[in-house]
Structure formats: structure tokens, C-alpha cells
Structure 1
Amino acid sequence: MKTLAERSRAAVWHPCTQMKRHEARPPLAIASAHGPWLVGTDGRRYVDGISSWWVNLFGHGHPRLAAALKDQLDRLDHVMLAGLTHAPVVELSERLAALTGLGHAFYASDGASATEIALKMSAHCWRNQGRPQKNGFIGLAGGYHGETVGALSVTDVPLFRDAYAPLLRRSAVVPSPDARGAAPGETAADVAHRAARALAAHLEQHHAHTAALILEPRVQCAAGFAVHDAAYLREVRALCDRFEVHLIADEIAVGFGRTGHLFAHQSAGIRPDFICLSKGLTGGLLPLSAVLTTDAVYAAFWDDDSALGFLHSHSYTGNPLACRAALAVLDEFASRDVLADNARLAARVSAALAPLLADERLAQPRHLGMLWAADARTDDPGFAQRFHHAALEQGLLLRPIGATLYWMPPYALDDEAIERLGAGSRAAFDAAWRGRPTAATPAVVVP
């Protein structure tokens, strides 16, 4: 009888995966999950060190979230949102508005769709205001905002972008405020100011044709967890105001406490014109994304003419089950001081990772909230794959981005999980480092 992994390899096209590699190493089959632990079909346990692609906040099978879904399933599973409404979507929209200062939530199912919605909304807003020439966009070097065609147009990661380049309407790219780019004697704030000056120079020339700037506040995750100083966001906000350009905050990965604030942009004391949310929005239970915006943007679509309305829809927009899961996430934040609890948990994780992060084979160790990262001093393209497999052998789910090791665990680590995260990560790094290729061992490129 075929194993689940073998059946998956034959029937499932896995995301961001060269499927041929699964001939040599089948996908890991997971049977269940509890708290920070994933359990394989063979009974082995793994610490979910990346929150199942950055979505899980409070651990798998969280009782509050599970109970909310079961209750909602007995009430209303789904109904279209065009011309109809329901309690979970209304309450979620109200509560997100209270937390962010932005209302008028528009819902979809994933982060890339949220990016598409924000881009379309921005350009259409300017068009409705009689300025259709303002339809271009700006992204940061190394920025990533999803893999649909519109989202790829503002993404600057060649692996994702280049294969589909003929389909894209490329956006402008300005320098990243990545603190790793500091010259000798420069601080992270200096890098932020330098990047802001480059943005100002670009806007001086191109603001008349620019609808919006999109960025991930504080951390560019797919760019190797590039952390920047909050000063950059303050300068960007001022520049966008000065040149009449919308600011889109992509909080898909960095929202809901990941950076030590409920939303990452709040660390700079600013308010963007759009916020894109997904991933942690439902605590990893169900697909849901939301775009929040200002009263001014919403007013630009308010008219008797249907052509001036926002022309976008998803069949599952505002799904009641997903909205109820998101409400349970907000209830968890409201019931206790999650950010303070996370700060205490982060101190323990930092102590566990300290021996590895102090290793001279790693550069630029960095930590923000519940995120940790460091760059292996190697240009070996096979390193990431070896580390990933070595981590699995240590009972850890970790997926480096190139040479960047990172940890983004759920906010529910127990003592055993913390110990394994620290000791197992170091053992996996040592094993991956020892396997560096020689002239007789060709490296394998891994996305």
C-alpha cells in the first residue's frame, strides 16, 4: 500500500516546490498538531518553528479558536456578501477599525489577493478623483507581496518575478532601508534616512504618475528578514503626504504581534492609507485576508454610477467561519496582554538561540518581537536545503530563505519546544555546514 507521502507526490502539486526533488525525498506527512508541535504519521513530533508559513499565532488546536469555529458552524457556514451581510463580518470590521484607525474593510482569502485589492483600490481612487495618470506603484528592493500577477508586479524577488516577467507591469523599485546595508560607522537609522532620501528623489520626478508605495513595515520577510529602523516609516509617511501618494502597509506577515506591536507600523506612530492583513488574522485556522482604508479613499467610490464603485469580488468574501476565527484571535488579544507575554517568551527563546547566534559562521544576528534571523556566511546554494532536512532530523520545521536562518514560532512554546528550538537549531546548522560541497560535490539550487 502506498504511503500518504507517496500518494501526495502523485496527486498534489505542492507550492513553491520543484516536484522532481520529492522523488528523492518525499514530503513529510503530518497527522495532527497540538500547540507548537506537529505530529507525523509515524508519531514523530516537530516544533513548528515557522508557524506553518507564518500563519499560526497561538498554537495548533487552540481551544478558544476551535470553540468559536464549532459554534459558528452551527449558526451560519457561508453566505454571499454582495447585497447581504452577517454578524461576524460586521463585528470583525468594527473591531479592526477600532484597532487601526482604518475602516471599510474589504475581504478576500489570501495575502496576494489583499495586495491586488489595495493596488486596484489606490489606482481606481485616483481615477475617480480625476487623476487617472496616477496609476504607477513603487516597491522596495527585495520586497515581496505575493505571487499573483499584480502582486508580482510590486515584488522584487527574481525567483518569483522573472519566470512571469512578460505578464507583469513592472513597478518602480527604490532602495531598501535594510539595516544590513549600513556602511562602517552608520546606524540602522542612518540607513533609513539614506533610503528615505532616495525615495524623495524618486517622488520628486515621478509623483504625478505614482498611485502608491507598498512596503512591509519594519521587516521585509522574503528579503531575508531585512529589519529596518522605524524612522524610515515616519519619513515615508511624510513624503507620501507631501507628494500625494498612498502608503500601503503590507502587514500580512508582520501583523498581529510578530514585531512586538499589534501592527508593525504602529512602532513608528504612523497611520498608512491602506493596511493589508492575512496569515495571523485567523490564527492559522482558515484562509482570510482584509484590506482596510481611510474615509477619504472610501468616499472616492461613493456615487450613483456603478462604474465608480470598486470593481472586485470573491465568492468567499467575508466568509462567516473565517471571520469568526479572526474574532476569536482578537478575543485572545483582548483577554490577556499577549504582547507582554510574548516579550517574556521571547527572552527565553533568545537565551536558547544565543549560542547559535553568537557563532562566527553567522552574520548580522537580529531579533524583533517574535522574529529571529541571522545570515550564514556561505554562498553555497545547497545550504538551505541541507539545513531544512537537518532540522527535520532534529524535530524542527525550519525553512531558511537562501543563506538566512530565521525563526518565527507560535506564541505557545513550552519548555521542551524552546529547548529543542535552541539545541536542535545548532545541531542542524553544524550538520548543514559540514555538508558544504567540494569540487566533486555539485550544489543543488533550492528556492
Structure 2
Amino acid sequence: MEQFDTIILGAGAAGLFCAKFATEKGASVLVVDHAKRPADKVRISGGGRCNFTNLYAEAQNYLSANPHFMKSALARYTQWDFIDLLARHSITWHEKNPEKGLGQLFCDGKSAAIIDMLLSEARSAEIRLSTEVGDIRHDGHQFIVTLNGTPVQCRNLVVATGGKSIPKMGATGLGYQIADQFGLTVLDTRPGLVPLTFAPHELDWIAPLSGTALEARVTANGTSFDEALLFTHRGLSGPSVLQVSNYWREGDAITVDLLPGQDAFEALKSERSQNGRRQMQTALATLFPAKLATALAEKFQLKGNLADHSDKALRALADQLHGLTLKPTGSEGYRTAEVTLGGVDTDGLSSKTMEAKSVPGLYFIGEVVDVTGWLGGYNFQWAWASAAAAGRAIAAQS
């Protein structure tokens, strides 16, 4: 029977990066994946340029049942460490829209450069693709993993299989099944960083705006994001909506400020003093894209011209523009979700090594763990940091 020091399930961002560290002291490492190519989610991320980390990645940018769990790993492998690694591979990068201060870093070239770097760094490991994982068991001394029908032994087993998001790319719940098999708690999972959908009565005015975008502040359960909002034929998308989808729960409403940082009342009042004869729809078009101005005029049943509206009426309209309340009926689901919320309960893992407390030699890293970052490179940074934590711990055994 074949024997390895470590088998890593998953040849994505976390799995490949873990192999880099786990092999540093000469240990034998096998990385397996059922996909035909490694790191496909890296390949498509950031529109093909890979939003590989964020300048501001800290624990406060992540969701977890334990908001402190990720602090250790993030502190011991930081965004600056990854940036230094890129420099060693001569990969150039840029910050997207630095004037917005969002800290999102992208490759100047294609994301394939990141994949090539990961494969280069993991070159001491054996990588087997198109490999199905079957039965997994522990005989009291080591793990026995069935790969394409053949049992293989290992001392350490690292689960880096990701979550359920984007099933067409091969995402499955395998990691959760393994955790459950070995007695670890798996918290409820749901799609994250995902567009929100609406009932027909809301879509009557939203759907015709499909493709219209603007800067907005979107709030769900007390958490707000100021980024672009995009109307779709099924509801709302864009960075601000994807961000709050992590905080939204079915049955909740969201609030949309269509003019963040502006005073809609003062803007309308000023316009009235200068162009009182303007129709309300035309007045709104000075603040919004024309299609949205028309839709809002119809939605709020605005009649007449600006001069016909008192300060009280304009203030009421301004309140609606700054606090439009909408109630999604659902989301686009795992089909388009960028991440999976929930997962392996961090209470059962060491925050320093990512090893299961109750099963020595069993590690969980990346998206399969109940740690989910904001949009903008945070989830890749968690992949790098959690992989480094596990890989270093494994290497220390050699």
C-alpha cells in the first residue's frame, strides 16, 4: 500500500498552498483533486485577474461563530507575506480603485500567474488530478484513504475541499461529510457573497432596470456597505449587495440608500429653487441614471413638477431615497455564490494549527471551515493563512 506523510484533499488555493509548507522539511505529500485542472476558482476569480488578497485583511472582516478564531492564522501569515511571495515570482499587481480605499489587490496579468506560482511552490508534492476520493478511515495509527478505488496510507490528512459554492465547477459537501464522520460539528451552511432575488411585485419595477448600476449604501441587520449596486432581471447584485448577503437572513428586509454621502432633500430643494417647473422625473434624473429616475417617479407616484412639492413632501421623498426598504425572497444560491457561509465548527479546531482537537493528524483549512471573509480578496487571504498554519504544523513533525 502506498504511504505518504500527508495527503491533502483539494488542489485549490488552500490545498496547494498548504503543500508548499508541508513539504519544506522533506516530508512526502500527496495532493489530490477530482477536477481535471488545479485551482479553477483561482483561475476565474477577479474577472480572470485574481483578487488575491486585501490590504486591510483583519479578523473584523470575517464572519464566524467565533469571531476571534482567525486572528492567530491571519497574524502569522499576513497579506504582506503573500505580497512578498509574489515579488519573488516577479508577479506584478495593482490596487483596484485606490481612491475608494477598499484595498483590493489584483494581478496586472492573468490569474494563471498565481496558479503557476502555487504549483511551483508545491513542486515537492505529488499532485494527482481526476482522482475520486472514496472511503476514509483511521486504523488507530494512520488514515487510509481510498483514491480511485485504491487505498493509500498517510499520517496526516488535510481537508481543503472548499464549500458548496459554484457546483458546476465541481464543488461538493465532501469536507463536511468527513468532519461529520470523525465527530466534528458542522454548522449550517448557506450561500454567501451572492445576488439577492425578489418576488414578482418588486420585480415589476426592478427587472426593467436590469443592467443599471450606481453607488449605494446597502444595509442588512445593522451592517452596511458603500459600493456599487446593480439591478438584474431577478433582483439586485453588485458588490454592495454581495457584501450584505453574508449578513442577510431569509425573511429579513434590506435598506438601500440610493444617495450615500449626499443630502437628497437639499439637492431637490436647490433644484426646485432654480428649476421649479421641471417634472419630478426630470428632477430625479439630475441625481440618478435616467431609467432609474423614471422607475422611482412611477414607484413613488410622483406627479406634477418640483414647484408643486412642499418642503415636507420633498423631505418625505428624500427619506425614501435614503432609506428604500426592500424584502428579498431569496438568493441566487450556490450556483453563483462566491463563498459558503458556515462549515466546520472552529470550536473543534486549533486556531494555531487548524488540527482537529479530537482527531490528531486531521486538519481543515480554507472555505470548508466556518470562516468567511468579505468580498475583495479576504477569502483568499484566509486560504493562504489557514494553509500556512496547517502546513507549518505538519512540517514541524518532520
If the TM-score is normalised by the length of the shorter chain, which range does it land in?
A: under 0.3
**Pair member with larger Rg:** 2
So what's the TM-score if we normalise by structure 2?
Answer: 0.21
Would you tell me which structure has more helix in proportion to its own residues?
A: 1
Would you tell me which structure has more strand in proportion to its own residues?
A: 2
Q: Which has the higher contact order (CA 8 A, sep 6+)?
A: 2
